[in-house]
Structures are given as C-alpha cells and as structure tokens.
Amino acid sequence: MFNWLLSFIPWWVYALGVAILLAATIPIWMPIARGIWFILPGWARVALGGVALAFGTYFMGANKALRAERERQRQRDARALETRRKSDQDFDTATDAQKEKEREKWYRD
C-alpha cells in the first residue's frame, strides 16, 4: 500500500500536505523552534542552512532532469510514430508479391 502512495502521488502533494500541517500547527512548534534556533551556535545555523540549500538544489536538479527526460521520451515517441507511419505506408503501397516475400522471411511453415 505504501509503495502505491509513493509511486502514484506526486511529490508536491506531500510537500503541500506538510506545509498545510506546519501552517496549522505554527502556534505549537514555532516557540520551540525559535528557542532551539537561538540556542544553536552560528556554525550550526550555517550548517543547517547549507543542508537546506543542498536539498533545494538537489530537488531543483531532479526536477530539471525529469523535464529533460520527458522531452527526450516525447521525441522518441514521435520518432517511433513516424517510423510506424512509414512502415504502414510501405506496406500499403507494396504489391502482393512483395508482401508474400516479406511474409516468408518472418514465418516458418
């Protein structure tokens, strides 16, 4: 069941759910988070900022790669349709003798 949830629901739906949950519970966790943030030394704040930046960069790169892969897939699909169309056209214009000769290559009796 959880595999279905991870596979078929886009990542932004999860991000939106977390954002709504955080926004709804802000009076509970914000004083705690603010207290922890101000207790942390400066180097730890910078490290947390770096981790957040790394995650953001990773997700932006993954999104860019996903768009590029979808574009490549679209081009492959268009090329496959053109090849299919050409093959169908060649078959439609072929004579019966040519069709029989082609069939003999592929079928065994």
Is the model's pLDDT at 1 over the cut of 60? no
Structure confidence by residue, pLDDT tens digits, 11-29: 788 889 999 999 999 899 8
d(CA 68, CA 103): 40
| Confidence at residue 8, expressed as pLDDT on a 0 to 100 scale | 74
pTM of the predicted protein model: 0.46
Query: How remote is the C-alpha of 48 from its chain's centroid?
Result: 27
Mean predicted confidence (pLDDT) in 47-74: 87
Distances in whole angstroms, Cα of residue 79 to Cα of each of 74, 76, 84, 85, 86: 9, 5, 9, 10, 11
Q: Predicted confidence band at 6 (pLDDT cuts at 50, 70, 90)?
A: low
Q: Confirm if 29 and 22 have CB atoms less than 8 A apart.
A: yes
Radius of gyration over every alpha carbon of the chain, rounded to an integer in angstroms = 28
